[in-house]
Structure 1
Amino acid sequence: MREREPELAGRTALVTGAGQGIGEAVARLLADQGASVVAVDRAADGIAALEAEYGSDRIAARAVDVTDHAAVDRLVEETERTVGELDILVNVAGVLRPSRVVDLTDEDWDDTFAVNSTGVFRLSRAAARKMTARGAGSIVTVGSNAAGVPRAGMAAYAASKAAATLFTKCLGLELARSGVRCNVVSPGSTDTAMQRQLWSDPEARSRVIDGEPSAYRVGIPLGRLAEPVDVAEAVAFLVSDRARHITMHDLYVDGGATLRV
C-alpha cells in the first residue's frame, strides 16, 4: 500500500507571531504536515531556532514587524519569489497590554491595534491580492474568546481582537466567489507566555480554570488550560481541504469557557 502524502505537501504557508506560543505551534504543525512555512516574528531568536531545527527548506525565518506596511508588502512578494505561491496565511502575531480603561495610555491602545488589528489587515490584504488572482487560498486569523466576552483590564486587547475577527469575516465574504476561504480561531486561556504575564501569584492558574466570581469570570468546563498545539490543530484543520466548504467561521478553542449558544 502506497504511503499517503502529507496533507499540506506542496503548499506555502506564512505564519506571523511564529517565534513562540501559538504561532510557533502553528508553524511546527503546518511544516510537519508538509507545508513550506515562512515563520515571521519581529524578534529573530525564536524563528531562527525553528529554521535551524527544521531546515530553511521547511521553515524559513523572516524577522518582520507586521506594523511596518512596506515591510509586509515586501515579505509577501519575497515569499512568492523565493519560497512559493502563497496558499495559506495564518495571522497569529499579537500583543497584550493589560490595563483598566481609566489607566490605559494612548500608546498602549495604539500599539495594541497596530499589531492585533491593522497588522491582520495589511497581511491579509497583501495575501488576498495574490490568492484571488489564482482562485484559491486560505486565511486564518487567530483571535480570542475575549472578542465576544467582556474582560476587566483587557479592553484594548478584546476590542482589537473583535475588530480583527469581524474584518476576517468581511474579507471572507468578499473573497468567497474567488475560491479563497477566511476563518477565525478564537482561543481561550492558553498556556503561553502571554497568559502567564497575567498571573501574579501561585493560585492564578487555578483561578483561571475554576473561575473567579469577583472578576465576573467563569471557569473552563473542561478543567484545563489549552496548550498551543490545541489551537494549532484547529488552524491546521481550517487551512486543509477537509474544511473546503467552511468560510467566515469563528471556531472557539476555549474548553467551553464562554458558554456559547
Structure 2
Amino acid sequence: MTAHPLFDIDGRTALVTGSSRGIGRAFAQGLLEAGCTVVMHGRDPDRVRAAADALEDDRVHHVAFDVTDAEAVAIGVEEAETLVGPLDVLVNNVGIQHRAPLLDFPDAAWQELLDTNLTSAFLVARAVARGMVARGRGKIVNIASVQSALARPGIAPYAATKGALKMLTQGMCADWAPAGLQINALAPGYIDTELTQALVEDAEFSRWLRARTPAARWGTAEDLIGALLFLSSPASDFVNGHTLYVDGGMLAVV
C-alpha cells in the first residue's frame, strides 16, 4: 500500500522559520522525510547551521536573518530562493513566550511578543507570497496555538498575539486565496519540548494538564507533523483561512 497521491509533496521546497530547535526542527525534519527540499532558519547562524548539519541530508539548507526586520526578511527570503528555487511551502513557526501578571507585564516584553509572534509572520509571509502570487500557487502555514482561543493567567499578551495570528491567517486568505494560495494556521496544544520543560517538570501543572486534556497527556512534536503535511499538500487545496487545532481535545471540553 502506498500513500494517496493527494498527500505527495516529494520535490517541493519549503522554508521553516525558527527551525533550529524544538517544534520548528521537527517540522523541518518531517517535511524532509516527506520528500521536500528544506531551508531551515534561525537568528543565530551557528545554531541553525548545526541543526541543518545534524539532519545529514544534502536537501537541507539554512539561512539566518531577523524575522522582525523587513529589510533582513527580504534579503533572507531571496537567499532561501537562491538556494532552493521558488518556495512552495512557508511555515511561519517563530514564536516566544513571556509569563508575568498582566498588571506587572513589562512594556518591552509586550512589544517583543508582538514583533516576534505577529509582525514576523506578516513580514515573512508577505515576502514569500509575492513570488507565490506571481506563480499562482503556494502553501503558507502559520503556527498559532491553543491560546488563539483560550487564555490563562500570566500569558494574556501571548494569547493576544496568537489570537491575532489566527485572524491574520484569515486576512491572508482573503487577499491571496484568489491568486491560488492556501493559507492556514496550525494551532498546537501543550507540547513537550525543551522550551516547555519547566512546565513539564512542574508536577502540579502536569496533573492539571492531563486532567484538562481528553487525551490525558502532553503532546509531542511528532503529533503535529501529520497536520503540517496535510496543510502543505494538495490534499488541502480547498482548505483556506482555517485554524487546525492539534490539542488532544482540549478545546472540545470544558
Establish whether residue 235 from structure 1 lines up as the match of residue 228 from structure 2.
yes
- Are the aligned partners of 1:50 and 1:59 in contact in 2 as well (CA < 8 Å)? no
Quote the RMSD (CA, aligned, Å): 2.2
Letter of the structure 1 residue corresponding to residue 21 of structure 2:
Q
Kindly provide the CA deviation profile for residues 2-59 of structure 1, in whole angstroms up to 9, marking residues without a partner as x. Answer: 9999922221100011011111110000011111111111134543233213346321
Tell me the SS of whatever aligns to 2:195: helix
Establish whether residue 223 from structure 1 lines up as the match of residue 231 from structure 2.
no
* Cα distance in 2, alignment partners of residues 4 and 170 from structure 1: 31
Kindly provide the CA deviation profile for residues 124-173 of structure 1, in whole angstroms up to 9, marking residues without a partner as x. Answer: 10111110000000000010011111211111110011111110111012
Establish whether residue 247 from structure 1 lines up as the match of residue 237 from structure 2.
no
1:1-261 equivalence runs, <5 A: 7-55=8-56, 57-198=58-199, 201-210=202-211, 219-259=212-252
* Cα distance in 2, alignment partners of residues 81 and 144 from structure 1: 31
Residue 43 and residue 24 in structure 1: after superposition, are their counterparts in 2 closer, same or farther (change >3 A)?
A: same
* Cα distance in 2, alignment partners of residues 231 and 2 from structure 1: 21
Letter of the structure 2 residue corresponding to residue 234 of structure 1:
A
Q: Which has the larger share of helix?
A: 2
Residue 243 and residue 51 in structure 1: after superposition, are their counterparts in 2 closer, same or farther (change >3 A)?
A: same
Kindly provide the CA deviation profile for residues 82-119 of structure 1, in whole angstroms up to 9, marking residues without a partner as x. Answer: 21101100011100001111110001000011010000
1:60 is displaced (CA, Å) by 0.9
1:253 is displaced (CA, Å) by 0.4
1:205 is displaced (CA, Å) by 2.0
Tell me the SS of whatever aligns to 1:8: coil
- Are the aligned partners of 1:22 and 1:232 in contact in 2 as well (CA < 8 Å)? no
How many correspondences in the alignment? 253
Letter of the structure 2 residue corresponding to residue 224 of structure 1:
R
* Cα distance in 2, alignment partners of residues 118 and 253 from structure 1: 23
* Cα distance in 1, alignment partners of residues 77 and 191 from structure 2: 29
* Cα distance in 1, alignment partners of residues 141 and 13 from structure 2: 14
* Cα distance in 2, alignment partners of residues 247 and 115 from structure 1: 24
Gaps of 5+ in 1: 211-218
